[in-house]
Amino acid sequence: MATENDSFSARLEKTQFNGWNAYRLTNGIVALYVAPDIGGRAIQLQLGEKGFFFVNQDLAGKVLPAEQNNVKAGWANYGGDKVWPGPEGWTGEDQWPSIPYFTLDGSKYAAEVVTDTPAEVAVRVTSPPDPRTGVQFVRTYHVYAGTTRLKVDQVMRNISRRQIRWGIWHLIQNDAADAHDPSKPNPDLYMYIPLNPHSKYPQGYYHPYGDARHPSYQLLHGGGMLRVHYLYRVGKVAADTDRGWYALVNGQKNIGLVENFTYFPEKEYPDGAAVETWNNGPGIISRGPWDQTLLDDPKQNPYILESEVLSPYATLDPGEEYSFPVYWSATSVPNPVRNAVWAGAISEPLTGNLANGQVSLKGVFGVFSPGSLVANFYNVMGEEVGQVTLQAVDPREVVRLDKSIPAPIGAFRVSVFVKDRDGENRGYLGNVVLK
């Protein structure tokens, strides 16, 4: 009998990606490319052959030195994901002056393979020490067998002889170009941020940059969800969400990325936010001491939707470290996303109707593990009275459930979960009390 690891075991290799030296971490479902020479970033994440991240083709294969990547020469924005100290600002030593910032964003990171087994592969990248901020970043990318859920360990180390106080600011530059015509923006790219019902902001979020009437931002579900529609017009919002996730969906490719993190309600955050999002595009924004004009030119100002997660502030004495891991889960899912759970992303929540001895189950999901969709039936006392395998599932295909099956005698409720190829329960996608 084949096990899950036989089909979807983890593998690691040194390779090239767009001309850059890279590590490829894969399990046959997802592939992550980590490029140590250009800021230690994950330059691309793929689900099957479909990529999520923006990659700057004009810089393909180039590794620019500091004299070509600075305030005067301009920012070499390679794309992919990155980590910075927060908050951003220009009026004090407790603020990071933003990109271009060669040491942490553009320099060569040290790299090492820390795990290479069929169950898990992992690569660690370490930045040079940065005397100005006192920070050194260490990130470890983990890919596991049989799941699209990846872990990114993020460690901030104080390499100075003074006390420092920063948050870890992690961001992904998501590709926002039209999949059919890259000279245009993607009309079907959305980000979903569940909002804190006890938010300190009247709408659950606020606008650090851009017009407060920006049409990209819309509240859904009675104000419980912020939907961000990518438009080629500059804007940024920040939310003190306490839900521990956001989702990014490219409707043209039917792919979605869920990022998970831990929220600490008792702690202070840079910008007063756990999640931020930036629409790259033309417009004028205030940088505090000055205004910045962003051009209407996709070559200089490309189609990018940034999704950003911040940690709380960490006060570190010399030699101390602070860890703030995040998790990425890729799947095939259409717009909209209503919720994200351990097993997958929920586009249309599970419904179940009982009539004439038949149960009709419907829902649309994206799953994070291959296997089967299974229905468990229970009576009013919580005793299991039946189990039915509904259909095969794979993260590379949207799960569209629309099936009628005989109802077990005494069925009161039904739950649907993902069973992996080893027969293990990977999490529930929905639960319905039958009526």
Please list the rounded mean pLDDT of every run of 10 residues in the chain (435 residues).
62 98 98 98 98 98 97 96 96 95 98 98 98 98 98 98 98 97 97 98 94 92 98 96 98 98 98 97 84 89 98 98 98 98 98 95 98 97 97 98 96 97 96 93
Range(s) within the chain of domains with CATH label 2.60.40.770? 344-433
Note the pLDDT of residue 3.
42
Q: Which CATH class is domain 4-332?
A: mainly beta
Per the CB < 8 A criterion, the answer to whether 337 and 346 are in contact is yes
Q: Find, among 401, 261, 344, 422, the residue nearest to 47 by Cα.
A: 344
Note the pLDDT of residue 380.
96
DSSP-derived pairing of the beta strands 399-406 and 358-367: antiparallel
Distance from C-alpha of 76 to C-alpha of 209, rounded to nearest angstrom: 22
Strand, helix or coil at 67?
Answer: helix
Question: Which tokens hold the place of 418?
Answer: 């993902």
pTM: 0.96
Strand, helix or coil at 290?
Answer: coil
Note the pLDDT of residue 1.
33
Helix (H) / strand (E) element for 248: namely: strand 245-250
Q: What are phi and psi of 3, to 5 degrees?
A: -100, 170
Note the pLDDT of residue 7.
77
Note the pLDDT of residue 2.
38
Note the pLDDT of residue 97.
94
Strand, helix or coil at 114?
Answer: strand
Q: Find, among 183, 285, 291, the residue nearest to 234 by Cα.
A: 285
Give the Å distances, CA to CA, from 183 to 224, 286, 297. Answer: 34, 28, 10
393-430 residues labelled b (16+ CB within 10 A) or e (exposed): bebbebbebeeebebbeebbbbbbbbbbbeeeebebbb
Per the CB < 8 A criterion, the answer to whether 156 and 316 are in contact is yes
Note the pLDDT of residue 55.
98
Note the pLDDT of residue 4.
41
Beta bridge pairs of residue 403: 361
Distance from C-alpha of 375 to C-alpha of 354, rounded to nearest angstrom: 14
Query: Of 3.90.550.10, 3.40.50.1110, 2.60.40.770, 3.30.420.40, which CATH number belongs to 344-433?
Result: 2.60.40.770
Q: Find, among 24, 33, 139, the residue nearest to 79 by Cα.
A: 33
Question: Which tokens hold the place of 89?
Answer: 């600002």
Q: Which residues contact 434 (CB under 8 A, 6 or more apart)?
A: 352, 353, 354, 359, 407, 411, 412, 413, 414
Provide the 10 A C-beta neighbour count for residue 333. 28
312 secondary structure, DSSP code: P
Q: Find, among 157, 177, 187, 169, the residue nearest to 273 by Cα.
A: 169
Range(s) within the chain of domains with CATH label 2.70.98.10? 4-332
